[in-house]
């Protein structure tokens, strides 16, 4: 066994090790259990122990050729739930304000569609890890926390959709006077997306990829226009350092 490095917090031994390749550059990250759980990289300790809850959250999304990640599974034996989210990742805590979707209704009587998984389709995270396939659109919400680091690895740091939005859905949500939150996300979401684009543009300029930078600039302009301004407001607040917490 090799000696474990110390976590970024400088306090504990790092047991979570991650190697990510972004644009050909290798980034390493070594965290202790507590920090890793805080960042949603591993399942944090949750109040009621559920034997179905899985702690080693590393399905190999990229099957083989992708970035390699090694980590030691968290055993979940101590530190009762101080850092856990209200309700826990598998609890009822649905994101606020989501207009869509009826109440979770386990369809069919199979024992598999049970508590502990996605409230909509019943898929457990353990089952996802085995197959690499999710069960339904709702799973993205249910497992958002666990999926986020996996998505960043699989998509070279990309964590947020930037691109086409369904045209009719967008039009409808505007017609209904609901604004564009349903489709493009709330102001914070949109601002984050634009920040991401700005970062990409800066990187393109740095790499003297000016054509790409110009394209990104156009895309930013287009998005700011369609966003109508509130995303911009938030962005200014954020960049001046007095962003309000949500």
Partner 1 sequence: MSNGDRPSERDWVETPGILGGGAEWLRGEGPSSEVVLSSRVRLARNLAGFPFVARADRTEREHVLEAVRPVVDGLTPGVARSSGSSGSGGPGGSGDHMSWIALHDSEPPERQLLVERHLISKQHADGTSAGDGAAAPGVRNCSGLSSPRAVAVSLPTERLSIMVNEEDHLRVQVLRTGLDLGGALAAIDAVDDALEATLDFAYSPRFGYLTCCPTNVGTGARLSVMLHLPGLRLTGEIDKVKRAADSMSLAIRGFYGEGSEASGDFYQLSNQTTLGRSEKVLLHEMEHEIVPQVIDYERLARERLLKHSRLMIEDRCARALGLLRHARLLSAEEAMKALSQVRLGVVSGLIRDVDLRRVHELMLLTQPAHLQRLAGRPLDQQERRSARADLARERLTAAERGDSGPADAGG
Name the token pair of 208. 């003297």
Measured between alpha carbons, how far apart are the two ends of the chain, in Å?
Answer: 43
Give whichever of 70 and 105 is closer to partner 1, judged by the CB atom.
105
Question: Minimal distance in Å, beta carbon 242 to partner 1?
Answer: 24
User: What values do phi and psi take at 128, rounded to 5?
Assistant: -60, -40
Give whichever of 4 and 189 is closer to partner 1, judged by the CB atom.
189
Name the token pair of 124. 């457990």
User: In the complex, which residues of this chain contact partner 1 (CB under 8 A)?
Assistant: 21, 23-24, 61-62, 65, 100, 108, 110-113, 120-121, 123, 127-128, 130-137, 140-141, 144, 147, 150-151, 154-169, 181-186, 189-190, 196, 200, 209, 211-212, 215-216, 219
Give whichever of 85 and 112 is closer to partner 1, judged by the CB atom.
112
Distances (CA, A) of 134 to 166, 169, 213: 21, 23, 35
Instruction: Report CA dihedral (20, 26, 27, 33) to the nearest 10 degrees.
Output: 50
Question: Minimal distance in Å, beta carbon 150 to partner 1?
Answer: 6
**68 and 20 Cβ atoms separated by less than 8 Å:** no
> How big, in percent rounded to 5, are the helix, strand and coil portions of the chain?
35, 10, 55
Query: Hey, how many other C-beta atoms are within 10 angstroms of the C-beta on 183?
Result: 17
Question: Minimal distance in Å, beta carbon 221 to partner 1?
Answer: 13
Residue 37, beta-bridge partner list: none
Give whichever of 9 and 172 is closer to partner 1, judged by the CB atom.
172
Question: Minimal distance in Å, beta carbon 33 to partner 1?
Answer: 24
Question: Minimal distance in Å, beta carbon 56 to partner 1?
Answer: 17
Give whichever of 76 and 183 is closer to partner 1, judged by the CB atom.
183
């Amino acid at each position: 066994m090799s000696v474990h490095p110390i976590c970024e917090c400088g306090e504990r031994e790092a047991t979570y090790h991650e190697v990510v390749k972004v644009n050909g550059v290798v980034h390493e990250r070594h965290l202790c259990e507590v920090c890793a759980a805080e960042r949603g990289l591993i399942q944090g300790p949750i109040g009621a122990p559920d034997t179905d809850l899985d702690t080693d959250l590393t399905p190999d999304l990229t099957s083989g050729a992708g970035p390699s990640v090694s980590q030691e599974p968290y055993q979940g034996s101590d530190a009762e739930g101080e850092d856990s989210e209200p309700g826990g990742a598998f609890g009822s805590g649905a994101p606020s304000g989501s207009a869509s979707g009826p109440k979770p209704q386990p369809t069919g009587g199979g024992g598999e569609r049970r508590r502990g998984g996605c409230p909509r389709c019943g898929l457990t995270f353990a089952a996802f890890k085995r197959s690499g396939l999710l069960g339904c659109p709702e799973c993205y919400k249910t497992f958002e926390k666990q999926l986020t680091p996996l998505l960043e690895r699989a998509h070279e740091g990309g964590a947020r959709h930037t691109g086409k939005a369904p045209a009719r859905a967008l039009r409808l949500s505007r017609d209904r006077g609901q604004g564009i939150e349903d489709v493009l996300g709330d102001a914070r979401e949109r601002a984050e997306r634009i920040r991401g684009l700005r970062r990409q543009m800066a990187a393109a300029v740095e790499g003297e990829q000016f054509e790409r930078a110009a394209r990104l600039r156009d895309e930013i302009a287009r998005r700011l226009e369609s966003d109508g301004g509130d995303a911009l407001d938030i962005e200014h607040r954020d960049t001046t350092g007095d962003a309000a917490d949500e």
